[in-house]
Structure 1
Amino acid sequence: MLHLRRCNLPRLLSSPAASPIPFPVHRLISAAAPSISPNPSFAVEDYLVGTCGLTRAQALKASIKLSRLKSPSRPDAVLTFLADLGLSGADVATAVAKDPQLLCTSVEKMLAPNVVGLTGIGLSHTEIARLVSLVPFSFRYRSIVSNLPYYLPLFGSFENLLHVLKCNSNLLGTSVDKFVKPNVAFLRKCGISAWDITKLCKTATWLLTINPERLPVIVACAEGLGVPRGSLMFRHALHAVTFLTEEKIVAQLEYLKNLFRWSHAHVRIAISKHPLILGRSKESLQSRSEFLLSEVGLEPAYIAHLPALICYSLEGRLKPRFYVMKFLKENGLLDRERSYYSAVAVTEKVFVEKYISPYNEAAPYLTEDYATTCRGEVPPRFIFASTKGGL
């Protein structure tokens, strides 16, 4: 296998998706490259483009990390190994672009043993290939084999693990005993269930890998916002305050208070119900405040008790649905009184079923006008003599 000509490698790697084929340990080991001898004509950047499928820009960036590579022997062995494992040419290009040093990894000493170890804990070659494509740098260390048996039951499935790795690609390289286990134990002590930890890790994986001494501080900060441990919103509060200093939190609370004309009690209510508004940018908050208070005419207390309104898309949801409701009310088409929040909170499918479809005959252009508004334009039929406080 090692005697494949280099010109065959691009063809081998460009196959749509080599189906994972089971191969014994001795074949894995046979992919190891012989001792590397300098090749004066070898150009790393050209090799990355011509053989690995990287763009010229990617190759230029990657070649900096491969300055000591003087021969294609080991990279050829790695590429052959990855192709045999089932990675397509696109997968290989992605992996190499993420971690160019993968090409310098020993097949015999690291890649093959890791694949054998992962197969031993129940992963298929297809699953291993997906891991290589997503977190190639983890395959340069033996810790991937020792760490995965802990993470798979923690996250509940291989698909959940992949989702978490997309958010925190360093997870598999973090010490489980030093960081992850202590943090998971503390979160469970706080009343967060294993299922909630899994959901938390999909958006705030760093809570598992931070210094365990910092986690109690974050928990205390979340509780200080009026979100008790064990509540449904507690994991969102942890997410919201993880990277915020006490000074920044105080400043954001004051900004919210002034912007939405809230009392201190209103701020606490809003944060306890939807802690993630702490992470919204000032520009985002400003635009929603102007629209909800001035144009829709909502009371500050109403927004404080339904703070999810602040996190919905302004152009994609808040404005289009307001204009539809306003149109229906102005034309006497609403069959009963409905709150603005009830229209905003439902899914797109339900909104269309309740507020668009029933009026196709009475308002034949409503579907078109709604679609136009979702694109950021306000059609003439949605321009009223007074749009202020219409619901």
Structure 2
Amino acid sequence: MLRLRERMVSHLPSSPSTSPICSLFRRLLSASAPPSNSPNQGFAVEEYLVHTCGLTRPQALKASKKLSHLNSPANPEAVLAFLAGLGLSGADAAAVVAKDPLFLCAGVETTLAHNVDGLTGLGLSRPEIARLASLVQDSFRCRSIVSKLQYHLPLFGSSENLFRALTKSPRLLKFNLGKVVMPNVAFLQECGLDCRSIAKLCIREPRMLTANPDRVRAMAACAERLGVPRGSGMFREALQAVAFRSEGNITAKVDYLKRTFSWSDAEVLIAFSAAPMLLRRSKYILRRSFEFLVSEAGLQPGYIAHCPVILYYSLEGRVKPRCYVLKFLKENGLVDRHLSFCYVVKMTEKVFVEKLISPHKEAVPHLAQDYATACKGEVPTNFGFT
């Protein structure tokens, strides 16, 4: 691979930013192709993949089965030159080839360079195009990638948002826009989600764009049955919570919460309408949080159902330390005894310190340090309540 790279670099123009991209790849292509009057007979694909492309022996053995028709390194070397011209390292290029061996068979000028020109026209930088090639592999060797990016970039709002989705779902760009992606987007809009909400949802669950439209509709119906109507502010989060989870899985989690939290059917709906992502929290975390909130914080199950977001926060890093501070201040008459625990837990860290720590630094000089210690998972002596 080092030998190939040295040869590639010698053919790169001194001012690539001022040279047309197709011209660059014509030079790389001509530099890498063997003379036409001396064909390379008996081309050993597996050895080429190992020694030139940088694949491991097992990777090369697997990839060579898809490249048995190759009888010359001409096109593969042109493709490697193309990837090097984009700025991919040898390891990155090897990863592309390992995942998509047929990338070595792509037409450099007819497809790859054409796609680079189109993507550049959409506003993508050279590093972004290189990153895209690494993420989507076989989609990059399809000329339709330009038209698909033309749709997806405005949908996600930025290239970085799109790349976050592609990292989770590299096959995103393989799906038909007219038959799958656009109908799903249209349905999400019917559910009251604006473009920004759709982008947020699909960054986390990109399969919402590529799933069968009937399945997406079924997920929306499931979210509604959990007490989150379409058009509500929590509907996006509810869709994310139920996305690609079976009915049996959802039913089992609801039953677990009813048993563990002693919630009625109505309280379950109240809790989910405010905090749908409870479905994604592990049973272990939920049980530990509930046990602390009832036994240590003194909360009633019904109170938790009406303020379920407290179950989202870290028990050790947020809920416990703030509970200790609030309890200490109340027992020493330093705050209103009716100050809401839910309100205190939901405060930002800055507001919590300003309202409940800083005002008492003279009366209770150890409070700030005790709180910091509690946030590390320890319980200071001053917080050792009876």
1:30 alignment partner AA: R
Give the structure 1 partner of residue 17 of structure 2.
Answer: 21
**Superimposed CA distance per residue, residues 80-127 of structure 1 (whole angstroms, 9 cap, x where no aligned partner):** 323322445676566567656645544334321211221233333233
Give % identity. 53
Structure 1 residues 77 and 254, CA, compared in 2 at 3 Å: closer, same or farther? same
SS of 1:297's partner is coil
1:23 alignment partner AA: S
Query: Is the Cα contact below 8 Å between 1:45 and 1:60 reproduced in 2?
Result: yes
Structure 1 residues 112 and 267, CA, compared in 2 at 3 Å: closer, same or farther? same
Give the structure 1 partner of residue 235 of structure 2.
Answer: 234
Give the structure 2 partner of residue 67 of structure 1.
Answer: 64
Inter-partner Cα distance in structure 2 for 1:252 and 1:338: 32
1:352 alignment partner AA: V
SS of 2:4's partner is coil
How far does residue 210 in structure 1 lie from its aligned partner after superposition?
0.3
Moved over 6 A (4+): 9-12, 69-72
How far does residue 156 in structure 1 lie from its aligned partner after superposition?
2.3
Structure 1 residues 214 and 363, CA, compared in 2 at 3 Å: closer, same or farther? same
Give the structure 2 partner of residue 313 of structure 1.
Answer: 314
Query: Is the Cα contact below 8 Å between 2:103 and 2:137 reproduced in 1?
Result: yes
Within a 5 Å distance, the mapping from 1:271-290 to structure 2 comes to: 271-290=272-291
Inter-partner Cα distance in structure 2 for 1:346 and 1:60: 55
Give the structure 1 partner of residue 246 of structure 2.
Answer: 245
Structure 1 residues 335 and 251, CA, compared in 2 at 3 Å: closer, same or farther? closer
Inter-partner Cα distance in structure 1 for 2:316 and 2:7: 49
How far does residue 65 in structure 1 lie from its aligned partner after superposition?
3.9
SS of 1:21's partner is helix
Give the structure 2 partner of residue 325 of structure 1.
Answer: 326
**Superimposed CA distance per residue, residues 346-382 of structure 1 (whole angstroms, 9 cap, x where no aligned partner):** 2223223333333344444433333333232323333
What is the aligned-residue RMSD (CA, Å)? 3.3
How far does residue 196 in structure 1 lie from its aligned partner after superposition?
1.8
**Superimposed CA distance per residue, residues 127-180 of structure 1 (whole angstroms, 9 cap, x where no aligned partner):** 322322443443132231120111122222223222322332221121111210
Query: Is the Cα contact below 8 Å between 1:320 and 1:373 reproduced in 2?
Result: yes
Structure 1 residues 357 and 123, CA, compared in 2 at 3 Å: closer, same or farther? same
Inter-partner Cα distance in structure 1 for 2:210 and 2:94: 29
Within a 5 Å distance, the mapping from 1:107-118 to structure 2 comes to: 107-118=108-119
Query: Is the Cα contact below 8 Å between 1:270 and 1:307 reproduced in 2?
Result: yes
Give the structure 1 partner of residue 37 of structure 2.
Answer: none
Give the structure 2 partner of residue 191 of structure 1.
Answer: 192
Query: Is the Cα contact below 8 Å between 1:316 and 1:375 reproduced in 2?
Result: yes
Task: Report which stretch shifted further, 184-193 or 262-271.
Answer: 184-193
SS of 1:83's partner is helix
Matched, 1:81 2:79: no
How far does residue 9 in structure 1 lie from its aligned partner after superposition?
7.2
Inter-partner Cα distance in structure 1 for 2:217 and 2:133: 34
Give the structure 2 partner of residue 389 of structure 1.
Answer: none
Query: Is the Cα contact below 8 Å between 2:330 and 2:337 reproduced in 1?
Result: no
Give the structure 1 partner of residue 142 of structure 2.
Answer: 141
Inter-partner Cα distance in structure 1 for 2:7 and 2:116: 21
Higher RCO, 1 or 2 (CA under 8 Å, sep at least 6)? 1
Give the structure 1 partner of residue 155 of structure 2.
Answer: 154
Matched, 1:30 2:27: yes
How far does residue 270 in structure 1 lie from its aligned partner after superposition?
0.7
Query: Is the Cα contact below 8 Å between 1:269 and 1:305 reproduced in 2?
Result: yes
Task: Say how many residue pairs are matched.
Answer: 370
Give the structure 1 partner of residue 165 of structure 2.
Answer: 164
SS of 1:123's partner is coil
Give the structure 2 partner of residue 6 of structure 1.
Answer: 4
Query: Is the Cα contact below 8 Å between 2:112 and 2:141 reproduced in 1?
Result: yes
Inter-partner Cα distance in structure 1 for 2:322 and 2:52: 54
Structure 1 residues 114 and 327, CA, compared in 2 at 3 Å: closer, same or farther? same
Inter-partner Cα distance in structure 2 for 1:176 and 1:143: 10
Structure 1 residues 40 and 96, CA, compared in 2 at 3 Å: closer, same or farther? closer
Inter-partner Cα distance in structure 2 for 1:85 and 1:135: 15
How far does residue 46 in structure 1 lie from its aligned partner after superposition?
5.2
| TM-score (normalised: structure 1) | 0.82
Gaps of 5+ in 2: 35-39
Give the structure 2 partner of residue 383 of structure 1.
Answer: 384
Structure 1 residues 335 and 253, CA, compared in 2 at 3 Å: closer, same or farther? closer
Structure 1 residues 40 and 346, CA, compared in 2 at 3 Å: closer, same or farther? closer
